[in-house]
């Protein structure tokens, strides 16, 4: 097994999940993950593999975002249109779909650094790896994560409450 | 010891503190109810945020195109085009079965001026078909647009109509058209080979070593194929699929056969829309390199589509791969043509 094969087998699942959560599109996530491994292929040596892979993937996403904000806006529109057409492979209940939509909103409301740190942590990166990938000081990772978690949960709960109120109003 | 800040509590719960620090925090939490409450709250945030993030894992696929976003066409346009196509085809069938003269055909074309570029090739095919069916004494060159691919066009139209699952009168009229066009098949093949150039000639000789297709990301408005040219080394081929959708709409009855006929029909359409380009610029290509990524853009002589091949490798190597892909595509087109006959 080559080194890249090993890297791929070890980290692909986590990387794709991280990117999917970040981007909201699995195909795009897989594409960025593939590009990340292609870049790893060209490295002679990588000191901290996981931090390196997550950092490169994050930068790829960021570069692309910077390059073409307009495209993303356009795509968000298309995504909305397609959502009506896409037949989900698994049966998605209304409840789950609503939860996913609220989660997306709550995650999008976070500051980019907070969001990335949290998503990386969820994939098991330790504080040093997160610090390396995001170029933070290791001492600030705890503060970043605590802020990200609190804000995420609070945003989500706010969304949940307003939904419940809407439903209550609709019922009465 | 002063109260713990939130960051330290999260660091502790995440196991990021040194043994010394962790012991100190633990001791403090035991004695300080305020900090114990903060720890409980932090545990809640950690669990809740994990749960919220899990909800993001069922993200849809294919929301973002892999390539050529600029060329994306709003799906509604496809739907309108498809509807116009079906209506146009239906109208033409009715008219042809009515009187069956060149006059009615003209009327039919006028009925659907909105069919525009998508429906264009299909209408032309109808025109040519009637030309040979209705007036065999009149040579095909009397039609407005004499085209070297006329026989091929008639052939592909036939196959398209077959796939439509037509019965009765439509099928009967097809039989007539077929009997008239079958003798024309060999010249059609010849024209086809000429159009597709050297690539097709190569394809006739020997099946080239197949490139491994490792992925076909879903996109709208373009067909994207990832080929693995060496272990871990992939190139991306992007091809606009404006007319592929058309064929799937028109020939939905037998999708498999339709797919086989598709390259032929697209070659056809290309000849109609841009004959001078197809012949003159067939081998012309543009090579760009940026950040180690090489991209070759060229007009595929077989389909008339602008193809884009990109990969992280020198231009010469990519050109070589392009030739291999062209050969394979030509072979596939030739196989489809054979099947059609």
List the one residue out of B286, B284, B277, B330 whose CA is nearest residue B308.
B286
Predicted confidence at residue A83, as pLDDT, reads 66
B5 or B74: which leads in pLDDT: B5
Q: Scanning every residue of chain A, which has its alpha carbon at the shortest distance from the alpha carbon of B7?
A: A143
Bridge partners of residue B310, in order along the sequence = B236, B295
The reply to whether A136 touches chain B by the CB within 8 Å rule is no
Predicted confidence at residue B144, as pLDDT, reads 40
Predicted confidence at residue B276, as pLDDT, reads 40
**Torsion over CA: A19, B313, B225, A42 (sign):** negative
- As a whole number of angstroms, the distance between CA B154 and CA B161 comes to 11
Predicted confidence at residue B333, as pLDDT, reads 75
Residue B8 CB coordination number (10 Å): 23
Contact A27 B231 (CB under 8 A): no
Task: Please give the C-alpha separations between residue B320 and each of B164, B177, B314, in angstroms, as whole numbers.
Answer: 40, 42, 10
Query: pLDDT tier at B308 (50, 70, 90 boundaries)?
Result: confident
Which residues on chain B are in Cβ contact (under 8 Å) with A23? 59, 64
Predicted confidence at residue B66, as pLDDT, reads 39
What percent of chain B is modeled with pLDDT above 90?
15
The reply to whether A118 touches chain B by the CB within 8 Å rule is yes
- As a whole number of angstroms, the distance between CA A136 and CA A140 comes to 7
Predicted confidence at residue B5, as pLDDT, reads 95
The Cα of B5 is separated from the nearest Cα of chain A by a number of Å equal to 9
pLDDT tens digits, one per residue of B125-166: 434 333 333 334 444 433 344 444 444 444 444 444 344 433
Predicted confidence at residue B45, as pLDDT, reads 96
The Cα of A64 is separated from the nearest Cα of chain B by a number of Å equal to 12
Asked whether residue B41 carries a pLDDT value surpassing 80, the answer given is yes
β-pairing, B233-240 vs B293-299, is unpaired
Asked whether residue B3 carries a pLDDT value surpassing 70, the answer given is yes
Q: If you average pLDDT over residues B312-325, what whole number do you get? A: 81
Mean pLDDT computed over every residue of chain A: 87
Query: For the whole prediction, is pTM greater than 0.80?
Result: no
pLDDT tens digits, one per residue of B236-281: 888 776 544 443 343 434 444 444 444 444 444 444 443 343 334 4
Predicted confidence at residue B309, as pLDDT, reads 85
Predicted confidence at residue B28, as pLDDT, reads 96
Predicted confidence at residue A33, as pLDDT, reads 93
Query: pLDDT tier at B290 (50, 70, 90 boundaries)?
Result: confident
Mean pLDDT computed over every residue of chain B: 60
Predicted confidence at residue B225, as pLDDT, reads 78
Q: Phi/psi at B308 (nearest 5 deg)?
A: -130, 125
Contact A141 B234 (CB under 8 A): no
Strand, helix or coil at B258? Answer: helix
Query: pLDDT tier at B91 (50, 70, 90 boundaries)?
Result: low
pLDDT tens digits, one per residue of B21-40: 999 999 999 999 999 999 99
Q: For chain A, which ranges sit under pLDDT 70?
A: 1-2, 65-75, 77, 82-92
The complex's ipTM works out to 0.76
Task: State the virtual CA torsion across B227, A24, A75, B287 in degrees, nearest 10.
Answer: -30
Predicted confidence at residue A69, as pLDDT, reads 61
- As a whole number of angstroms, the distance between CA B159 and CA A1 comes to 49
């Amino acid at each position: 097994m080559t080194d890249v094969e090993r890297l791929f087998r070890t980290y692909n699942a986590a990387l794709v999940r991280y990117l999917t959560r970040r981007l909201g599109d699995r195909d795009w996530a897989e594409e960025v993950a593939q590009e990340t491994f292609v870049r790893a292929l060209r490295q002679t040596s990588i000191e901290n593999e996981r931090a390196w892979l997550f950092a490169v993937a994050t930068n790829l996403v960021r570069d692309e975002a910077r390059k073409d904000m307009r495209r993303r806006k356009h795509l968000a529109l298309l995504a909305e249109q397609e959502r009506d057409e896409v037949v989900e492979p698994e049966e998605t209940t209304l409840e789950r779909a609503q939860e996913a939509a609220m989660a997306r909103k709550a995650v999008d409301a976070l500051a980019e650094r907070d969001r990335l740190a949290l998503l990386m942590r969820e994939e098991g990166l330790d504080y040093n790896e997160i610090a390396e990938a995001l170029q933070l000081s290791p001492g600030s990772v705890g503060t970043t994560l605590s802020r990200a978690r609190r804000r995420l949960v609070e945003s989500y709960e706010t969304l949940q409450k307003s939904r419940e109120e809407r439903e209550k109003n609709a019922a009465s | 010891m002063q109260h713990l800040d939130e960051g330290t509590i999260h660091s502790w719960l995440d196991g990021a503190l040194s043994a010394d620090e962790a012991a100190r925090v633990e001791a403090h939490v035991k004695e300080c109810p305020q900090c114990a409450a903060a720890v409980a709250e932090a545990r809640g945030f950690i669990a809740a945020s994990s749960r919220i993030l899990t909800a993001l894992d069922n993200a849809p696929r294919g929301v973002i195109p892999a390539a050529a976003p600029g060329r994306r066409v709003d799906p509604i346009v496809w739907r309108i085009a498809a509807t116009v196509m079906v209506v146009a085809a239906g109208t033409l069938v009715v008219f042809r079965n009515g009187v069956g003269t060149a006059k009615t055909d003209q009327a039919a074309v006028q009925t659907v001026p909105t069919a525009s570029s998508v429906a264009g090739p299909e209408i032309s095919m109808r025109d040519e078909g009637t030309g040979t069916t209705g007036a065999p004494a009149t040579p095909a060159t009397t039609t407005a647009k004499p085209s070297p691919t006329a026989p091929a066009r008639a052939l592909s139209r036939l196959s398209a109509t077959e796939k439509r699952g037509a019965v009765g009168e439509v099928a009967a009229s097809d039989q007539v058209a077929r009997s008239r066009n079958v003798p024309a098949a060999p010249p059609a093949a010849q024209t086809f080979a000429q159009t597709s150039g050297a690539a097709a000639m190569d394809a006739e000789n020997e099946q080239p070593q197949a490139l491994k297709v490792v992925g076909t990301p879903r996109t709208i408005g373009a067909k994207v194929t990832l080929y693995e040219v060496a272990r871990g080394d992939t190139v991306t081929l992007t091809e606009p699929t404006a007319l592929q959708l058309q064929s799937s709409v028109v020939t939905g009855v037998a999708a498999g056969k339709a797919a086989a006929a598709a390259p032929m029909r697209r070659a056809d359409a290309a000849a109609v829309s841009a004959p001078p380009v197809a012949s003159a610029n067939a081998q012309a290509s543009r090579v760009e390199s940026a950040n180690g990524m090489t991209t070759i853009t060229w007009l595929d002589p077989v389909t008339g589509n602008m193809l884009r091949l990109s990969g992280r490798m020198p231009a010469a190597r990519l050109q070589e791969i392009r030739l291999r892909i062209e050969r394979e595509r030509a072979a596939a087109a030739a196989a489809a043509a054979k099947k059609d006959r």
